[in-house]
Amino acid sequence: MSANLNFKPGLARDPGLQGERTSLAWKRTALLVVVNALLTLRTGLSSNATALTILAVVLLCSAGIAVSFSAWRRQHLRSSYSVSARVMLVTSMVAVGTCGAGIASIFISRI
């Protein structure tokens, strides 16, 4: 009975720790969005570029959402193993937006 201390009723038996690894991968990715958002925020504040500052705050919020999503997904792993295609597309778009913010901050900091 006490053989599997990690057993939770909502989770399937997962000896490869697939859920945990996937959840950590989401968190690492969110962390990199935070790093890039902070770099953008720095340029936005030091160059008085309001649009860039707002974009950086939006990116920080989306990183927060990604962390909550990773936790939610781990809890609900059993009901749907495969991630929704829309989530992947939105993640990819957020990453493209982060790249846009980075490129914009390169140009704005030169003005």
Partner 1 sequence: MIASLKSRAASRKATRKPHWRQLGTEPDYRFSLANERTFLAWIRTALSILAGSVFLDQFSTKLASQHAGLLISVALGFLAAALCGIAYRRWRSNEIAMRHARELPGTIIISVLAGFMLVISAVITILLAL
The terminus-to-terminus CA distance of the chain in angstroms comes to: 66
Question: Smallest gap, in angstroms, from Cβ of residue 9 to partner 1?
Answer: 18
Assess 53 for contact with partner 1 (CB under 8 A): no
Assess 88 for contact with partner 1 (CB under 8 A): yes
Write out the two tokens for 96: 């493209």
- Angle at Cα 15 formed by Cα 80 and Cα 9, nearest 5°? 55
Rounded to the nearest 10 degrees, how much is the dihedral formed by the CA atoms of 103, 54, 97, 20? 120
Residue 2 or 8: which CB sits closer to partner 1?
A: 8
Candidates 11, 53, 58, 102; binder of partner 1 (CB under 8 A) is 102
Window 32-51: contact mask with partner 1 (x via CB under 8 A): xx-xx--xx--x--------
Q: What is the C-alpha separation between 104 and 66, in angstroms, rounded?
A: 23
Give Rg (Cα) of the chain: 18
- Residues in contact with partner 1 by CB under 8 A are 16, 18-19, 21-22, 25-26, 28-29, 32-33, 35-36, 39-40, 43, 81-83, 85-86, 88-89, 91-92, 95-96, 98-100, 102-103, 105-106, 109-110
